[in-house]
Amino acid sequence: MQGSRWSDFARSFRHFLCRQGNPLAESPAADCAFAFGHLERPSRGPVFIGGTGRSGTTVLARLLGQHPRIFVYRWETQLIAAPGGLIDLLRNLHDVGARKRFSQQMRGPWFQRVLYAGQPEEYKAGLCADLSWEEIEPVLAIFENLVKLGGDQIHPFRLGAEFLDVLSRPAVRRAKAHRWGEKTPRNIFYIAQLRQLFPNLRFVHILRDGRDVVASMLENGFWPIAPSPEYPGTLRFRGKMSFEKAVDYWVEMLKIARHSAAQVPPENYLEIRLEDLAKDPAASLKRLMDFLDEPLTEELLQFDLSRARAGRWRRDLSAAQIRYFHRHAGEVLEREGYAV
């Protein structure tokens, strides 16, 4: 929806809420439907980070979060690219069940989830790390009402983008930043859809030596990216993990990433290798900041990249496993610039 058409709908929506005596009509967090219809869009789009999983997405997110102009969500939000997330919802906006599932997840694990429950390393993850429920609830409620009442007047991806921008506002302001970023490995499935949301987005695909990825997967014991029916080749990556299936997983996820990236212009997409960040951070960060159109700051140059653990496969994989990897995925390694 564009211009006055959206404004007319937003005005009608606010009047509807007022007639119903709905407190959302005067919501300070989102300024009702006007926050969506009259949002001043940032000149620079959000930054999305994706990868195969265990490829350095967290390291890159923490690094970018040190930039004074960029706020990056602490944890994977899950609300955008997860099964049943915003992208799925926007493609099925009239599906009442999809809307209900989205709302339940927003009020549940996407806001707060407990990891390693009952163990010494227990912690909470989700949007709760950056936003209070009091900040999220009115924005979510307005979004839900707009979806419910908007009918054919709603442009799904325009509405979705404005929902995400309004949702992030409090955290961006607290950080005194100018744009926001989010990392979820599964973002690599949806680069084209993310660009539908934000035509001026910047997508950073962080690559890592597949042998290190597999070594990390075996150590953690879980599949980093949930399978998707849209990509039937991913459906076998569930249940118990084996070394052989982990190798197949890395190859398949790279293939999907390549397919997804080919659908967007080069100005929206950058590949960066975790090993390059660790080996020559100044050069890699300069390239990254040029892509994001942001200044290279001292905070980034001083960031500790020891967590990259480049080359861990040499000590973590057996000789037999290394031979298997080279035999079954050596061509992919070489194509990605890694020596075999």
| pLDDT confidence tier of residue 177, bands split at 50, 70 and 90 | very high
The DSSP bridge pattern shows strands 70-72 and 123-125 to be: unpaired
Give the pLDDT mean for 223-250.
96
> Band of the pLDDT at 215, cuts 50, 70, 90?
very high
Residues 56-65 pLDDT 10s: 999 999 999 9
> Is residue 166 pLDDT above 90, yes or no?
no
Return the minimum-mean-pLDDT range out of 38-52, 167-181, 225-239: 38-52
Confidence class for position 119, pLDDT limits 50, 70, 90: very high
Would you say residue 151 has pLDDT above 90?
A: no
* pLDDT of residue 132 exceeding 70: yes
2 — pLDDT class (breaks 50, 70, 90) = very low
- Class (C level, CATH) for 3-208+265-309: alpha beta
CA contacts within 13 A on the Cβ side of 3: 1
More confident residue, 11 or 337: 337
Model-level pTM?
A: 0.90
Give me the sheet containing 47-50, strands edge to edge. 70-72, 179-183, 47-50, 202-207, 269-273
Domain positions in the chain are: 3-208+265-309
What is the pLDDT, as a whole number, of residue 162?
86
Q: How far apart are CA 117 and CA 124, in angstroms?
A: 9
Give the mean pLDDT of 135-139.
88
Question: For residue 14, what pLDDT is reported?
Answer: 61
**Does the pLDDT of residue 75 top 60, yes or no?**
yes
**pLDDT of amino acid 176:** 96
Position 38 pLDDT exceeds 60: no
> How much is the mean pLDDT over the chain?
90
pLDDT of residue 147: 84
